[in-house]
């Protein structure tokens, strides 16, 4: 399998995740007359197959720990592909 095929798979996966996020945001809007509450989330995607996989893993850990130390009022989401080592997923 060439790089072009893998890039298409990654782009397809990202489009799917974006579609799910848009659908979820559209179904959770407040009812008429209720005050709108603003909720934020920091989301990142972790997958394997690049020469700098470990550097991306470290960057994700730094971002998540920084957000936790700053007491940011937002959800933190990591979408990990199945080929990411389990010890990395558990560390996050």
Residue 59's pLDDT is: 93
Residue 39's pLDDT is: 80
Tell me how many domains the chain contains. 1
Neighbours of 60 (CB within 10 A): 19
Residue 5's pLDDT is: 72
Q: Tens digit of pLDDT per residue, the chain (92 long)?
A: 566 777 777 767 666 666 666 566 655 555 555 555 668 889 999 989 888 999 999 999 999 999 999 998 888 999 998 999 999 988 88
pTM: 0.57
DSSP class of residue 35 equals P
User: Residue 86 and residue 82: Cα distance in Å, rounded?
Assistant: 9
User: Residue 16 and residue 19: Cα distance in Å, rounded?
Assistant: 5
**Torsional sign, CA 7, 9, 10, 12:** positive
Domain of 51, in residue numbers = 3-91
User: Residue 64 and residue 70: Cα distance in Å, rounded?
Assistant: 10
């Amino acid at each position: 399998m060439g790089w072009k095929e893998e890039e298409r798979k990654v782009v397809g996966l990202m489009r799917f995740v974006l579609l799910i996020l848009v659908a979820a945001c559209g179904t959770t809007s407040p009812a008429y007359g209720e005050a709108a509450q603003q909720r934020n989330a920091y989301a990142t995607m972790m997958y394997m197959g690049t020469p700098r996989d470990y550097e991306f893993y470290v960057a994700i850990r730094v971002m998540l720990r920084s957000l936790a130390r700053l007491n940011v009022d937002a959800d933190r989401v990591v979408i990990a592909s199945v080929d990411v080592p389990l010890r990395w997923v558990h560390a996050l």
